[in-house]
Structure 1
Amino acid sequence: MLLASALLAGLASLVVAEPLLTAKALLDGSPALPLGLHRRLRIQEQVASKGAEGTGWPSSSEQLSFSSPDEGHDYPAHTFNQLVSHDPAVPPPQPNATFPQRYWFDASYYKQGGPVILLDGGETDGAGRIPFLRQGILRILSEATGGIGIILEHRYYGSSFPTTSLSTDDLRFLDTRQSLHDSAHFARTVELPGLAHLNLTAGGSTPWLYVGGSYAGAKAAFARKLHPDVFWGAIASSAVTTAIVDFWQYYEPIRASAPADCIERLAENTALIDSLLSLNSSLVTPSLKSFFGLSNVTADADFVNALALPLGSWQARNWDGTVGSSRFDAFCDALTGNTSSLSTPARPIDAALLEGLDGLALPKDPRKTLASMSTYAAYVKEHIAALCPPDELQDACFGTDEYSGDGLDEYEWKSWAWQFCSEWGYFIGAAPEGTPSLVSRLLTLEYTGKICGKAFPPGKLNTGVSSMPAVHKINQWGSFDLAHSRLAFVDGSEDPWLYATPHSPIAPNPHRKDTLRRPFKLIKGGVHHWDENGLPPGRKEPREIAKIHRAEVEFVQSWMREWRERGRWRWGVGTGAEDGEGREVARWQ
């Protein structure tokens, strides 16, 4: 008992200090998923969360990913009987079969005529979005419009499963179009408990707005285009509207926005490590891996994949320090020689590595690069390698060859893996030759995409994934050019997903006109869907966040005025003409 108490106390204290790495950050930012490490981190976080329940400590997932340690007594979960399949080409096991899809709502700000604001839970447990209902974007907009906020959990995530396993056959009902139909069917038919007398369903007297961030942000944009009769407006935050197979650009916003000295050191270290590995030396390679505390990682690609894990902490940054991570700053400190993030001193470069440098093209400042490599290695040894306990094989923690498990409890990695393998791509690896790379060039498309064949073998009812994700299924809906009336895009200038959004530097028109009817907002210094979280009363938001929240209230209120005036106007159909604010040409009814 004392040992167990000490373990819980130790884990809880680690949470307070900020975890070295979270399971979610591992999913978000690693080029190839080391599944063994992900499972170990999830177990630790669950233990820490249980240990923190009686102490007031937040869980690690709450601290870093907006999630709530429980569903909250003020927002109980409800279920909606959702159709297993909306696609006749993929029939359900029985005609009109349904499954219980979870949702949460808050009607405390509702006033007659107010909208229903649906937030898509996206590729995570929907309960983790409750802070957006309690104090974030749903509360902000509901207060401003007299609306009702709803969180709808995505099929195959959290507790909303239409099948009993995640086998390849049972994943046949998981795709973006099915989930878009889920949202439309929910909006058209749901009766909110205690509010059935208000006739709140879409297509009637109540406007519905769709809100989402990241993948769910793309869905919000697609829903506005594909179901304009259901959703009066939509806010697409950090919306990845373009599916990209080889998404090496994930690292470009980091390369452009992180401290220049840190990025220069990282690029030089990465190139030098690649050069040392290319020697294929039985002396140099083991010495290099040992230097970083990863001596028992067999595959060179798995080794450099582990070195890339700290970069995922860039996406975990947030304007609110209680939900964001400062881990990237500590990583940069180590690269640039500030050892305050290390509890043990960096050791000198191994003699074998120095001998391996003979004949290699060295960086312009070898002394500085080698000093940086020493603190870089010390950081990885202390903060990454240490995540694998001494009694565990490092290949079991950092290997990327085993992706087994069909149980529903595997959804955290497997459901989204199915989606990116089948439709979205986003294999995050090295930059092409000629562009400085922050990660090893061993992180090829073949390496980062191998999870698809290993995790999803062909089934009897579902052939599995093809050799390349069918990104055309997503990009047919508009890609970079997607636009619609009452569709807002809100992105962050430093978001690693920027290059998949309409604000992408490679988009045909990344500087669209920003209007009330077609808002096009870029949060300066913002990262990933920074507009969706908010603060409880009494805390003041940073200027840029307060500014974007005011703008969102302004354009949503203007959309509501349009809704109220719609009976007085008949909007021109098919003319293509618009006024200076992006409004369609109209005439009196």
Structure 2
Amino acid sequence: MAGTITASDVKKLKQYDLLEESSFAQGNFTQLLDHFNFKEKSTFAQRYWVNDKYWDNKTGPLFVYICGESTCRPPSERGYPFQVCQDLNCLFLVLEHRYYGASQPFPDWSVPNMKYLNSQQALADLDYFIKNQTVEIFNKYGTGVHKVLTIGGSYPGALSAWFRSQYPTTADAAWSSSGVIHAIMDYEMYDYDLYESALRSGASCPDVIKSVNDYVEKAINGTLPQEDKDYVYSVFGGKDLPNNDFMSFLADAVAGAVQYGGREKMCNIFNSIAFATPKQQVPVFNQWAIQGGGDISTYARSVLQNVTYDINKNQRQWMWQVCTEFGWFQVPNKVFPMRSELLGPQYWIDYCHEIFDPTIGPPNVDYYNQLYGGLDIQGSKIVFANAIEDPWQYAGMRHIHNYATQSQMEAVLINCQNCAHCVDLRTPLDSDHPTLTNAREKIRQTVTKWLTPSAEELRKAFEQTE
């Protein structure tokens, strides 16, 4: 985004403060546990939400917002998808992902119980849910023309694109924000993007990041005197962590800032300590990590080994999907590393084995890229949005790859300061960079074109009821 939030931005945000989740009605849907084994009759309760505030029950489309790897909360009415929904008089549906939040098939997350947590089952959940909702709508309102748009950001952005590709008769179009459609075992480009983004604030920002990482690693591995090791632990805590997990905490403190549009703020702080010694830089770095929500105690492996269900926990479930399906292991870039070499490929394989068991991992990324197409995804009427400061952009569709098979898709790459992960889904503000505003408008025009019923579709639908 371009600059400081303006007075009109504040007014706009306050306008939507009273329109949050209260406008969504929550329900529970009886979902099938296994969509691919007809002998398995088990079900579980899957949470969903509905907002019909602006819906035209004769011609309004269905917006199906896909929640992903966390406890689901309906998106804000201030967000851009809901504003597009209002323009099109849509029915806004939200579905919580299996195994996250309250949508739990089993009472705990032991390894045998994780069997049904995968993207294929999640896509089939969507299909079953949408088809059931469509029947309910027909039974309640009668004949109508209701085109379906799936929406998601990040992993749900990939689900949105994959769903349109895999279930083209259920969804008419898809909006994939920062959709990570390409499974990658060792995702080195994630680290490279951190460097590239930090460099936008000048060379001293990535230099400070590297300086702190180098100093901390040498301190905790005993290369430096004992007093340096004691000092690092006194600042950060985490004395009982293995060195590689400790360094993972440092890497995430930077990654989170860049990924969610905080690069400029982070680099302003780091640039201010560029001439300090690494030891002097450490407490400032730690303070930044804490402000960003970092908690080094959560990096203990026992946290992810805990199989006890907690509605607010998502790390174990997501790590399961990473270890079994997608990879995206955030390894150091070979040329401009922003993280320790201790976080190389073997670190992640060992991590999967220890969190679950030795049979889990490495992920079968080739299988999933073949199944869904990776960057050669097939289909039509999918709009992809990615941003230039998002470390996940290289796992997404930054541009159309094959015009012969992807001619009916759109790819938007948003290039502006601090434009990062899922930025197109956020509340439009007057202070937004024109590039972002234009990208959102292109998305709106595209989905409007795809979701507007033709005169022939309307004639056929309503002639049958006369």
Tell me the TM-score normalised to structure 1 length. Answer: 0.66
Query: Where in structure 2 are the equivalents of 1:238-257 lying within 5 Å?
Result: 238-257=178-197
The aligned residue for residue 487 of structure 1 is: 382
Of 507, 513, 532, 2:425 maps to 532
Q: Is 1:101 matched up with 2:46?
A: yes
Instruction: Specify the code of the residue in structure 2 equivalent to 1:556.
Output: V
The aligned residue for residue 362 of structure 1 is: none
Instruction: Specify the code of the residue in structure 2 equivalent to 1:227.
Output: Y
Please list the CA deviations of residues 419-463 of structure 1 after superposition, one character each: whole Å capped at 9, or x if unmatched: 11110112213223xx121111111222234332222237xxxxx
Whole-angstrom CA distance in 2 between matches of 1:71 and 1:454? 41
User: Could you tell me how far 1:238 is from its partner in structure 2?
Assistant: 0.4
Query: Where in structure 2 are the equivalents of 1:62-461 lying within 5 Å?
Result: 72-88=21-37, 92=40, 95=41, 97-111=42-56, 112-127=58-73, 129-131=74-76, 134-190=77-133, 196-199=139-142, 205-258=145-198, 259-260=201-202, 261-271=204-214, 280=223, 283=226, 286=229, 289-290=232-233, 292-294=235-237, 296-297=239-240, 299-315=242-258, 317-318=260-261, 326=262, 328-338=263-273, 371-384=276-289, 398-400=299-301, 403-409=304-310, 411-432=313-334, 435-457=335-357
Whole-angstrom CA distance in 2 between matches of 1:174 and 1:241? 18
Indicate how the Cα distance of structure 1 residues 472 and 136 shifts in structure 2: closer, same or farther if over 3 A, else same: same
User: Could you tell me how far 1:218 is from its partner in structure 2?
Assistant: 0.6
Conserved? CA contact 2:177–2:424, under 8 Å: yes
Conserved? CA contact 2:69–2:155, under 8 Å: yes
- Partner SS state of residue 342, structure 2: coil
Please list the CA deviations of residues 229-261 of structure 1 after superposition, one character each: whole Å capped at 9, or x if unmatched: 111111111010011121122122221122122
User: Could you tell me how far 1:73 is from its partner in structure 2?
Assistant: 2.8
Conserved? CA contact 1:71–1:77, under 8 Å: no
Indicate how the Cα distance of structure 1 residues 168 and 518 shifts in structure 2: closer, same or farther if over 3 A, else same: same
Indicate how the Cα distance of structure 1 residues 163 and 269 shifts in structure 2: closer, same or farther if over 3 A, else same: closer
Whole-angstrom CA distance in 1 between matches of 2:233 and 2:319? 31
Please list the CA deviations of residues 191-239 of structure 1 after superposition, one character each: whole Å capped at 9, or x if unmatched: 6888742258xxx842111111110111111111110111111111101
Number of residue-to-residue matches in the alignment: 434
Larger helix percent? 2
The aligned residue for residue 4 of structure 2 is: none
Task: Point out which structure has higher relative CO (alpha carbons under 8 A, 6+ apart).
Answer: 2
Of 522, 532, 542, 2:413 maps to 522
Q: Is 1:478 matched up with 2:373?
A: yes
Indicate how the Cα distance of structure 1 residues 552 and 385 shifts in structure 2: closer, same or farther if over 3 A, else same: closer
- Partner SS state of residue 151, structure 2: strand
Whole-angstrom CA distance in 1 between matches of 2:182 and 2:81? 26
Indicate how the Cα distance of structure 1 residues 163 and 562 shifts in structure 2: closer, same or farther if over 3 A, else same: same
Conserved? CA contact 2:63–2:90, under 8 Å: yes
Instruction: Specify the code of the residue in structure 2 equivalent to 1:189.
Output: N
Indicate how the Cα distance of structure 1 residues 291 and 490 shifts in structure 2: closer, same or farther if over 3 A, else same: same
Conserved? CA contact 1:136–1:533, under 8 Å: yes
Please list the CA deviations of residues 553-586 of structure 1 after superposition, one character each: whole Å capped at 9, or x if unmatched: 21122113465546899xxxxxxxxxxxxxxxxx
Indicate how the Cα distance of structure 1 residues 565 and 395 shifts in structure 2: closer, same or farther if over 3 A, else same: closer
Indicate how the Cα distance of structure 1 residues 145 and 387 shifts in structure 2: closer, same or farther if over 3 A, else same: closer
Whole-angstrom CA distance in 2 between matches of 1:172 and 1:562? 41
- Partner SS state of residue 88, structure 1: coil
Instruction: Specify the code of the residue in structure 1 equivalent to 2:340.
Output: S
Indicate how the Cα distance of structure 1 residues 502 and 138 shifts in structure 2: closer, same or farther if over 3 A, else same: closer
Instruction: Specify the code of the residue in structure 2 equivalent to 1:551.
Output: K
Conserved? CA contact 1:479–1:502, under 8 Å: no
Q: Which runs of 5+ in 1 are unaligned?
A: 1-62, 319-325, 339-367, 389-393, 459-463, 570-589
Please list the CA deviations of residues 300-354 of structure 1 after superposition, one character each: whole Å capped at 9, or x if unmatched: 3233233323213324534xxxxxxx4x54543443235xxxxxxxxxxxxxxxx
Alignment RMSD, CA only? 3.6
Indicate how the Cα distance of structure 1 residues 249 and 165 shifts in structure 2: closer, same or farther if over 3 A, else same: same
Please list the CA deviations of residues 66-96 of structure 1 after superposition, one character each: whole Å capped at 9, or x if unmatched: xx9998332121111111110218x64xx2x
Whole-angstrom CA distance in 2 between matches of 1:403 and 1:315? 25
Larger Rg: 1
Identity %: 22
User: Could you tell me how far 1:275 is from its partner in structure 2?
Assistant: 5.9
Instruction: Specify the code of the residue in structure 1 equivalent to 2:80.
Output: I
Q: Is 1:549 matched up with 2:440?
A: yes
- Partner SS state of residue 409, structure 1: coil
Instruction: Specify the code of the residue in structure 2 equivalent to 1:547.
Output: N
Whole-angstrom CA distance in 2 between matches of 1:386 and 1:74? 31
User: Could you tell me how far 1:269 is from its partner in structure 2?
Assistant: 4.5
Conserved? CA contact 1:289–1:303, under 8 Å: no
Whole-angstrom CA distance in 1 between matches of 2:291 and 2:150? 42
User: Could you tell me how far 1:398 is from its partner in structure 2?
Assistant: 4.5
Conserved? CA contact 1:248–1:429, under 8 Å: yes
Whole-angstrom CA distance in 2 between matches of 1:218 and 1:397? 27
The aligned residue for residue 464 of structure 2 is: none
Instruction: Specify the code of the residue in structure 2 equivalent to 1:465.
Output: I
